[in-house]
Amino acid sequence: MAIRPILNVAESAAILKQVSAPVERVDDELRALMDDMLETMYDAPGIGLAAVQIGVLKRVIVMDLAKEGEEPQPRFFVNPEITWTSDETAPYEEGCLSVPEVYDEVQRPARVRLTWLDYDGVAHDEEVDGLFATCIQHEMDHLNGVLFIDHLSRLKRDRAIQRVKKVIREAA
Ligand code: ZN
């Protein structure tokens, strides 16, 4: 396993805006990618990471919503598809490893139904809510080249990018 550099919107917007391609099969090579993604996410630390955030344009997401002190609960999503969304929405103060130190409220459907393949290539079909629903929608946006700041006003988005530029400068 290896920790990979995470792309940010100030330096790598052109990659982060691309649409990721479906995965053809879940094999050891893909599992090695998922292992790296999980380690990179834990190191950051974050609760979700899409492959495009480490520069790999594949429809793969890792997530762990365990609270502090709980056992890790790693989840892997290959080729996830949302098949239903609730009319009811819920707000959540979102952040993103590719938009460091920026947090803002985004409204998304409160419940979604989705299908995906897991780490072993097993198919799942589940309805989820709460943080799971918010996080998977945020991560699936990444697979389509969309960042959470794209859901905000233009002014807020421009400010967010300026903020990230400053964060990157200060870290250099
Ligand atoms: Zn993100």
Mean pLDDT by 10 residues, the chain (172 residues): 95 97 98 98 97 98 95 98 98 97 97 98 98 98 98 96 95 86
Say which DSSP state 123 is in: E
**How many angstroms separate the alpha carbon of residue 119 from the centre of ligand 1?**
21
**Helix H or strand E encompassing 156:** helix 154-171
**How many angstroms separate the alpha carbon of residue 49 from the centre of ligand 1?**
6
Q: What is the pLDDT of residue 166?
A: 96
Q: What is the pLDDT of residue 140?
A: 98
**How many angstroms separate the alpha carbon of residue 158 from the centre of ligand 1?**
17
Predicted confidence (pLDDT) per residue in 106-148, tens digit: 999 999 999 999 999 999 999 999 999 999 999 999 999 999 9
What is the three-class DSSP state of 157?
A: helix
d(CA 51, CA 59): 7
- What Cα–Cα distance (Å) separates residue 116 from each residue in 51, 81, 119, 122? 15, 6, 10, 8
36 touches 4 (CB < 8 A): yes
Nearest to 138 by CA among 95, 84, 74: 95
Q: What is the pLDDT of residue 68?
A: 86
Nearest to 77 by CA among 43, 39, 126: 126
**How many angstroms separate the alpha carbon of residue 100 from the centre of ligand 1?**
10
Q: What is the pLDDT of residue 110?
A: 98
**How many angstroms separate the alpha carbon of residue 2 from the centre of ligand 1?**
20
**How many angstroms separate the alpha carbon of residue 125 from the centre of ligand 1?**
23
Does the domain at residues 9-171 carry the CATH identifier 3.90.45.10? yes
Please report the beta strands in 4-159, taking only residues with DSSP state E, as ranges in sequence order: 48-50, 60-64, 74-85, 89-96, 99-109, 111-117, 123-129
- What Cα–Cα distance (Å) separates residue 163 from each residue in 29, 81, 103, 141? 36, 32, 11, 21
124-80-73 Cα angle (round to 5)? 65
Q: Which residues are catalytic?
A: 139
